[in-house]
Chain A
Amino acid sequence: MKLNSPHTVVTKMLTGIQGFDEITDGGLPRGRTTLVMGGPGCGKTVFALQSLVTGATRRKEAGIFVAFEESTRQIVANAATFGWDLPGLAKKKLFFLDAQLSPDVVKAGEFDLVGMLTVLQAKAEEIRAKWIVFDGIDVLLSLLDDSVAERREIYRIRDWLFQTGLTGIITQKISGIDADHRYGFLQFMVDCVVVLRHQVVDGSAFRNLRVMKYRGSGFAADEFPITLTTAGMQLTNRGPTEFQYDVTDER
């Protein structure tokens, strides 16, 4: 087995989220998996969507968005405030897949994602996708109702991502402050973990973002406030650390 030479640095993909690309010195790890965790309404879907939109608009990179929880029509409508022209992008660069199981589906035994991943691979090759988002995968996997099977399917996704070379973003809800232990192992398995929090401190609501882990790269580990603007999500700096250096994105 040929080991990568030690100085191969993790190559990165810009997310277009101002501040995030700076604190990670270039964005998300290319061809690897990032886990975006957070409570309800903290911006997980926006983070994932904005990365796809940036890839599509700035670098003409196609992406697939697999929605397990919210319908894609809902997501596109909600994102209208950001002026990303998702409907337009959806025609050429972005493929939205509705993967919500309707409530009247009967479950009669164990299932797996082998079929779905094959279908996604065919679609990824067809549109030459570089990105893929699994938004709210915990909704589908909790249907398995068996932690061994859930873990097996998560590992199947990880191996599949590694094999397809796509840059993957998995979003996952955490209830309460600490990560939901049921999926705790997810954080160990992925290469990059971003934690989003939405909290109210004596009456005023704050959203913030923290990079908890980034294999193969340095990063600013502090928690940065997030603001949602019409351009999407953006980190505001916390004071002393100024974001002066800009990041080039030519090849």
Chain B
Amino acid sequence: MAKIRVNKPGLRLRLYIAGNAPNSLRAITNLKAICDEHFPTECVLEIVDLLVHPARALADGIIVTPTLLKLSPLPVQKVIGTLSDTNQVCVALASR
């Protein structure tokens, strides 16, 4: 699990990817950049590769990849795509 600093209390994220599909790789890079810049304190990021754990998608209701879940603080927010649209992602991650 990659540890990234975020100043908000305990931003817990989970990113579902599909191996090294281009969109998935871009999402990882974009998310790390966003977290470093906008959420530099405690941000816990879990990356789930659906090529390795396909059952996780059915259990967690994941349809497309890449999909980002903001698990906490609530409300849980789902963001799909390469996360290239920085302010869309920031708005979603900052939602309380």
Contact = CB atoms under 8 A, between A and B. Distances in A.
B50 A109 contact: no
B81 A110 contact: yes
A173 to B, nearest CB: 19
A115 B17 contact: yes
Nearest to B78: A105
B54 A118 contact: yes
Interface residues of A, number: 24
Given A115-B16, A116-B57, A109 B63 contact: no
Contacts of B74: none
Contacts of B19: 114
A163 to B, nearest CB: 15
B27 interface: yes
B23 A101 contact: no
B86 to A, nearest CB: 8
A109 B64 contact: no
A116 B64 contact: yes
Nearest to A66: B63
A3 to B, nearest CB: 32
A108 interface: yes
Nearest to A68: B63
Given A106-B78, A108-B79, A115 B57 contact: yes
Nearest to B16: A115
Interface in A110-129: 110-116, 118-119, 121-123
Contacts of B66: 111, 115
Given A109-B30, A114-B21, A119 B81 contact: no
A114 B16 CA distance: 11
Interface in B37-96: 50-51, 54-55, 57-58, 61-67, 77-85, 88-89, 91-92
Interface string B1-39: 000000000000000111101011011001000000000
A105 B57 contact: no
B34 to A, nearest CB: 10
Nearest to A121: B54
14 contacts: A105-B79, A106-B79, A106-B89, A107-B79, A107-B88, A108-B81, A108-B85, A111-B66, A111-B82, A112-B18, A113-B64, A115-B16, A119-B58, A122-B55
- 10 tightest CB-CB pairs across the interface, nearest first? A115-B65, A109-B81, A109-B82, A115-B18, A114-B18, A109-B84, A122-B54, A108-B85, A108-B88, A115-B50
